[in-house]
């Protein structure tokens, strides 16, 4: 039996389809493994400096998770939600502050506005106290780089 190399047969079509599916499946599997390795390195899947599709104990989705490095060696870890921000401060405080009206950037404040957290872009700061007695307790905060 002579083989005709330029003739398409049913088994050559089947081999081509199976080979294409195997290559696609292998590429998909390798992509999934790469994603899992990145998740293991950071402890969670990171998108920029934010956790995507994560939820907290409150059950509200996390929209961003950012750590800010501030003056005086202070840090502010902000876990953003649609209606509030959870702050884990380097002085040991853990606060949840509701979103408030702002003219620029994002502003979060408690009911009497004695605690206000502002952020715009990659910067943030915290003021505490009322009126003339308000002081900036976390100043010149800038988004900390992601761990390598």
Max distance between CA atoms of the chain, in angstroms, equals 99
Q: Which pLDDT value is given to residue 69?
A: 94
Span of 55-59, 88-92, 118-122 with lowest mean pLDDT:
55-59
Per residue in 36-69, pLDDT tens? Answer: 554 444 443 333 344 444 444 456 788 888 999 9
Task: State if pTM tops 0.85.
Answer: no
Distance CA 85, CA 101 (A): 14
User: What three-state secondary structure class fits 3?
Assistant: coil
**117 within 8 A of 87, measured Cβ to Cβ:** yes
């Amino acid at each position: 039996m002579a083989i005709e190399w330029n003739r398409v047969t049913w088994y050559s079509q089947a081999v081509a389809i199976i080979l294409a599916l195997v290559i696609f499946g292998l590429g998909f599997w390798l992509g999934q493994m790469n994603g899992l390795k990145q998740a293991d390195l950071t402890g969670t899947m990171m998108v920029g400096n934010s956790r995507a599709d994560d939820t907290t104990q409150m059950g509200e989705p996390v929209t961003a998770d950012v750590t800010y490095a501030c003056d005086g060696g202070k840090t502010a870890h902000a876990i953003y939600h649609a209606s509030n921000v959870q702050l884990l401060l380097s002085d040991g405080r853990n606060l949840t502050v509701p979103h408030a009206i702002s003219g620029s950037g994002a502003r979060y404040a408690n009911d009497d506005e004695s605690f206000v957290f502002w952020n715009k872009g990659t910067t943030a700061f915290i003021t505490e106290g009322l009126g003339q007695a308000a002081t900036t307790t976390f100043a010149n905060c800038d988004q900390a780089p992601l761990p390598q």
